Structure 1
């Protein structure tokens, strides 16, 4: 049927009786609405909305989002300025977490319902909560670019509240006795690795990158200037993530003697000698050390779910319990924000409340017998007073 011209856009009735709307985009191309309408008024209303979008420069080319999502995500990662470790982590997420679901989809095909289903399937498949959260954050970041910079879609489909939060289970906190039990159970070469990880809160990569010149036994300090990252079978020495990562941490005097013996027996010689190396002089790697760690947990009779990183968590907790302020915890941990430090201070406040409750119980245990006797005396006095009064009346 013939179309009826308007001031802006066109509307025509199809043989089916429904109405079709078409409009000129900013590029001059006449584009049809993605669906037909039951009435002419509905078609006109849709055109009015589309005209408003163009006038407000809020219009999105419906063809722009027809790019395959996987090629767009891969390009997004490649074009970003990222550290080698972050780039590799993103590439793994794109390959393992995105591809199975989004391989055959265009950018515009991925709606909010698609994202909800994808996230639910990851969780059902047993993917860990931290990995799911990281994957969701990356997907949301990619779509932020698609919406705000490339204008491929109008809205970000990643709108699940809290989906990007790391709801990791609470990390284990070991006792000092357990820490030394682990240190004694692991291979002697790595005994001090366990102690230093705990009592200075250094990360595994920071410990692996330590040189002799980074340790001052006289003052009792360790200087963190670099970290070791493991990438696809190779290791890379890199700087810290932030300026706060470069720091000097005091070493407890209680382990200085152990550290001195380690440097004499196991570390490479020279100021630039590596502090922690393998039996054959090789680089310390997480994968190789993990076998020794698992064995040490069994020997020390400690839960096999405890990770090496929990030593850092334990050290942070000990520092908080020792009275460290938020800024002091941030400096010791190498954190540029207070979020992580506040977690330990919150735990310390909870522990302080538990201590106060225990004190209260002790106070109550002492006071209750006295209070009980006082109540008995008061009751007896009331009875005596009542009896005397009645006797007086009788007289």
Structure 2
């Protein structure tokens, strides 16, 4: 890639001359000591005007070698990402997905199904506010269509799932899996065979993906500006990188209990620890026996427990699950659990966790970390069976944050 040698003590100099064709040519020597031609013009005045523009850039300190920025955006973006050594593994994986899906892949233009906008093949110096605006509009439409298609696929449920969900909401005593009793099925049919309501994607569907892609492009272009490959950042779309998430209603203690009861017995306590301790899923399922400190009274009864958060699961698709640091330096903390949750955790340790100090508290049957996909499917079934399909695993942190806020308002911010 061409680089620009800076010499603040030099100024560009130039001249104009008449060519045998009768046209006038403007030439100058830039601050980098390279002789360049501005162009040819029909009159001397036009040539001198064009030359004056280049000389003014040199005197103002805004001159750039014209060959800078000839690199395609896709090549520069990948090179930029390779140099971001400070990124956490999950953040790097997210950036790679955003690059591959939205930035370096041609996007169909809204209203023109046969036309595409290939931002990745565009040279850096050719990027403009108009081009980025058109790209963002195309990404917003494509992301919404993708989200709508995904929602239609996940909304399909079997009759047995629908009957089980209806029965749980109606107060029937049903098991999480297995055959449903005939009286439950008859009651479900008598009620009109209702299916779980699935709200269609709202007007903001896909907005998060579009905003993430835009923010990444803006950051990449900022790097190009610092390297003087761009005069300015072309990402100037107002509020394009902002996402206003809908307010989420935290689960109540009763709802948390129902979700935990609907989980496989091996993982019920994980829901309680996340909800009452405010831990992220990656922190809960990276917890080892050595991280749990149990307090007992003189009779040996459990009076409390504390969990040291020192690590988190790093789960990237197509790669083995590993252990890494928490999301931030503030994530290293000690969490004191309520008495009921502490008792449940101690019982779980005795029944399900291996005796080694480095054994995972919530592991698979083989003692390995539970992958995010398996956890999500398991939790999705449990929340539907519990009649609270709007609650995600991450929302359990909001339950803990709500309780803390009521006791110490304004001091905590759980994300």
TM over 0.5: yes
Aligned partner (choices 104, 108, 123) of residue 140 of structure 2? 123
8 A contact 1:11–1:44 mirrored in 2: no
Which residue does the alignment assign to 1:367? none
Secondary structure at 2:69 match in 1: helix
Which residue does the alignment assign to 1:111? 128
| 1:138 aligns to 2:143 (yes or no) | no
Deviations 1:30-79 (A, max 9, x none): 43448x77876565444333212212332112211111211111111111
Offset of 1:297 from its aligned partner?
1.8
Aligned partner (choices 128, 141, 160) of residue 237 of structure 2? 160
- Gapped runs of 5+ residues in structure 2? 1-12, 106-117, 145-205, 296-303
Deviations 1:133-164 (A, max 9, x none): 22222211111111112x11211111223222
Offset of 1:112 from its aligned partner?
1.2
Query: 5 Å matches for 1:135-214?
Result: 135-149=213-227, 151-214=228-291
Which residue does the alignment assign to 1:80? 84
Deviations 1:247-304 (A, max 9, x none): 111211232221111111112222222110123433211101111112112211122x
8 A contact 2:16–2:47 mirrored in 1: no
Structure-2 change in CA distance of 1:9 and 1:207 (3 Å): farther
Offset of 1:21 from its aligned partner?
4.3
Offset of 1:11 from its aligned partner?
6.7
Structure-2 change in CA distance of 1:248 and 1:208 (3 Å): same
8 A contact 1:76–1:142 mirrored in 2: yes
Offset of 1:13 from its aligned partner?
9.0
Structure-2 change in CA distance of 1:313 and 1:45 (3 Å): farther
Once the two structures are overlaid, the 10-residue window that deviates more, 237-246 or 164-173, is 164-173
| 1:91 aligns to 2:81 (yes or no) | no
8 A contact 1:129–1:168 mirrored in 2: no
8 A contact 2:270–2:284 mirrored in 1: yes
Cα distance in 2 between the residues matched to 1:105 and 1:183: 51
Which residue does the alignment assign to 1:243? 329
Q: Which has the higher helix share?
A: 1
Cα distance in 2 between the residues matched to 1:234 and 1:12: 69
Cα distance in 2 between the residues matched to 1:13 and 1:159: 42
TM-score normalised to structure 2 length: 0.71
Cα distance in 1 between the residues matched to 2:267 and 2:22: 79
Which residue does the alignment assign to 1:62? 66
TM-score normalised to structure 1 length: 0.74
Cα distance in 2 between the residues matched to 1:234 and 1:268: 21
Which residue does the alignment assign to 1:283? 369
Offset of 1:129 from its aligned partner?
2.3
Cα distance in 2 between the residues matched to 1:325 and 1:155: 40
8 A contact 2:289–2:358 mirrored in 1: yes
Cα distance in 1 between the residues matched to 2:359 and 2:253: 30
Cα distance in 2 between the residues matched to 1:259 and 1:77: 42
Cα distance in 1 between the residues matched to 2:94 and 2:220: 15
- Cα RMSD of the aligned pairs, angstroms, is 2.6
Aligned partner (choices 3, 8, 21) of residue 14 of structure 2? 8
Deviations 1:170-202 (A, max 9, x none): 334211111111111111111111111111111
8 A contact 1:12–1:21 mirrored in 2: no
Q: Computing the radius of gyration over CA atoms, which structure comes out larger, 1 or 2? A: 1
Offset of 1:311 from its aligned partner?
1.0
Structure-2 change in CA distance of 1:241 and 1:283 (3 Å): closer
Secondary structure at 1:97 match in 2: helix
Query: 5 Å matches for 1:332-347?
Result: 333=414
Offset of 1:220 from its aligned partner?
2.3
Which residue does the alignment assign to 1:50? 54
Which residue does the alignment assign to 2:383? 297
Cα distance in 2 between the residues matched to 1:176 and 1:46: 73
